[in-house]
Amino acid sequence: MDHKRTHGELPGYYVEVALDRISGKWKGLILYALMTRGPLRFNDLRRCLPKITHRVLTLQLRDMEDAGLIGRDVQMTTQMRVTYALTKYGEALHPVIIALEAWGACGTGPTGPSHGHVDPSAELQDGPLREGSPSRQTMRSVRSRSASEAVEAIASS
């Protein structure tokens, strides 16, 4: 992103800033894993995202930490234990990520339902969901609805 621009020079500047902070193949899935499962260690995140490489996960975590989306808690016991968790700033993305998931689950676009629908969270391995996140059943039930109906269904669950 061109950081020389100011908010007054470009319509949608703040959308660009937000997308820059969460862009990329893995950031959304990392955020989703931390939102639904709570704080995780590096290897727990690798298990959630088995196709991500060690190097890419490291780079994505550093980038999100620099952006203030996640925090890194280092505890020194007999060996160093590092846990990643969302910051309050990162937690503010919860409704956005859930809305993106609902929108993706609907598989609709300007031309109607997508026949080649790809679930954005399909790469996440099943595991315990954190309290307050929508259940998998709720997410399955919204797949046949419009995006706005899906978001409403998640909000009411």
Is 43 or 151 the better-scoring residue by pLDDT?
43
pLDDT number for residue 143? 41
pLDDT number for residue 17? 86
State the average pLDDT over residues 147-155: 53
Residue 155 has pLDDT above 70, yes or no: no
The Cα 49–Cα 122 span in angstroms is 10
C-alpha separations of 107 from 19, 32, 128, 149 in Å: 21, 19, 25, 13
134 three-class SS: coil
pLDDT number for residue 142? 43
pLDDT number for residue 64? 95
pLDDT tens profile 95-130: 999 888 888 888 765 655 555 545 444 545 555 555
Most confident of the ranges 1-10, 17-26, 44-53, 130-139:
44-53
pLDDT number for residue 51? 93
pLDDT tens profile 46-100: 999 999 999 999 999 999 999 999 999 999 888 889 999 999 999 999 999 988 8
Token code pair at residue 113: 């339902």
The alpha-helical segments, DSSP class H, found in the chain are 13-22, 27-37, 42-48, 54-66, 88-91, 94-106, 136-141, 147-156
Token code pair at residue 2: 């061109």
Given a contact cutoff of 8 angstroms between Cβ atoms, the answer to whether 33 and 109 are in contact is no
